[in-house]
Structure 1
Amino acid sequence: MTIMVRDLPVNERPREKLLASGPDGLSNTELLAVLLRTGTHEKSVLRIAEEVLAYYKERGLVAIAHIPASELAAIHGVGQAKAATILAAVELGRRLAIAEAESAEVVSGPEDVAHFAMPRFRFEQREHFAVMLLDTKNHILGLHDVSVGSLQASVVHPREVFRTAVDYAAASMILLHNHPSGDPTPSREDIAVTARLVKAGKIMDIPVLDHVIIGRNRYVSLKDKGLLS
């Protein structure tokens, strides 16, 4: 016999639990069930939510941020309307995280850089190289993409990096890029590109203060590792 949500006690139903106690106490399955809203004649909405999460088990929950709507909609019991709801919720969460991070206006260390940049980069599937521009008091003037793709000297050219800094009259900058693998350990190429841009910063009188590599909920500061020069 299939147990439907309506068969559960009221205080055990996902939507009612959320309204009574807030979303923090709900599991991923229950949160997803709230978005899906209804099940089918054969399956409860909780069962469909479990199957969606199981479908992405190998790639992890973050996979939902990248999947096309057609792939999500193809899961039995989801369909196009529910897929659109899930993806809209994921994007709204991403934008809220970015907005919260951007409330930090002053950089005092790599942890501030990571806090500001991680919501933008953590779900990207390709490497993004960006520059964080600072004024004389280390207030953030902006975070700007320079290139997308592999981090190579031929792609990350000082001309493009410092053109943005000059346009914004930046006093200094911090280099950033993400590792889609989730491991922020710097590669030899990362170190070589950093050295090249540090040298260019000295010539341009726009010092490169750090290079922060973003991974999955982790980051590495090349300055902290003694790899900046």
Structure 2
Amino acid sequence: MKGRWTLKDLPPEVRPRERLARDGERSLSDAELLAIILRTGSQKETALELAQRLLYQFGGLQGLHQCSLAELAEVKGVGMAKACQIKAAIEIGRRTFESARTEKVTIRSPSDVARLLMSEMRYLDREHLKAVLLNTRNMVLDVVTVSVGTLNASLAHPRECFKEAIRQSAAAVIFVHNHPSGDPTPSPEDISLTRQLVEAGKLLGIEVLDHVIIGEGTFVSLKERGLMS
């Protein structure tokens, strides 16, 4: 009787490990990458099928990131060992991102801002408002969270938005927040807050260069749209 299914039971041309070696990791789907981490499935499904089921059950990689270890371990076919493997892989990705962000990055365009924060902010289930603090050469000094809002609203006061910029003697700041809906179109509230921040920055001598809204794989620059004033 057939025991536990593994990736070796799949045809060679569709095995995730072989595809990664042949085509590179960027060519693999989320399910294929997760299947490599899982390594084995169960008597009823391959690792790839288990990976697909997990992504469906938790709503993608974002859900796997946000669920608890206990919740993941309770899923049939997973258990504590596989749950730890998944959580460890996600944490490695998070630490890699954090490490890269501490390196000196120069912001030249809204695309640079999106590259800096897209992978972190596109999966958040609440609106997070962040401030990218810059020196006189537009090099990133720090990225700080200003506020965490509700499902569709970022709760922030201009006073709090500049607190860290003042403390770290930033010359300029770019504000960034996400839309959990995935649509980065600015709301009237986004535009109003941006204009308040621009005026507050003028009083403090800290230039507000832009306000970037992150969506699902896309973004909008209020500066590019002429909505800063």
Residue 41 of structure 1: aligned partner: 43
Aligned to 1:136, what secondary structure does the other structure show? coil
Change (3 A) 1:21 1:106: closer
Matching of residues 1-229 of structure 1 within 5 Å:
4-5=5-6, 6-8=8-10, 13-15=15-17, 18=20, 22-56=24-58, 59-100=59-100, 103=103, 105-150=105-150, 151=153, 155-229=155-229
Aligned to 1:130, what secondary structure does the other structure show? strand
> Is the 2:5–2:42 Cα contact (8 Å) retained in structure 1?
no
Rounded to whole Å, the distance in 2 between the matches of 1:18 and 1:105 is 30
Aligned to 2:141, what secondary structure does the other structure show? strand
Q: CA RMSD in A?
A: 2.7
Deviations 1:95-126 (A, max 9, x none): 33444455561111111111112123122111
Change (3 A) 1:72 1:206: same
- Which stretch of structure 1 is more off in the superposition, 40-49 or 217-226? 40-49
> Is the 1:94–1:119 Cα contact (8 Å) retained in structure 2?
no
Number of residues of Structure 1 aligned to a counterpart in Structure 2: 225
Aligned to 1:96, what secondary structure does the other structure show? helix
- Which stretch of structure 1 is more off in the superposition, 15-24 or 124-133? 15-24
The amino acid across from 2:217 in the alignment is: N
Deviations 1:143-190 (A, max 9, x none): 1111111445xx422222222111111111111111111111111111
> Is the 2:55–2:64 Cα contact (8 Å) retained in structure 1?
no
Rounded to whole Å, the distance in 2 between the matches of 1:90 and 1:68 is 12
Under a length normalisation based on structure 2, what TM-score does the superposition of the two structures give?
A: 0.84
Quote the sequence identity (%). Answer: 46
> Is the 1:131–1:161 Cα contact (8 Å) retained in structure 2?
yes
Change (3 A) 1:160 1:16: same
Aligned to 2:226, what secondary structure does the other structure show? coil
> Is the 1:104–1:116 Cα contact (8 Å) retained in structure 2?
no
Aligned to 1:193, what secondary structure does the other structure show? helix
The amino acid across from 1:94 in the alignment is: R
Note the residue ranges of structure 2 that are not aligned, 5 or more in a row: none
**Shift in Å, 1:32:** 2.1
Note the residue ranges of structure 1 that are not aligned, 5 or more in a row: none
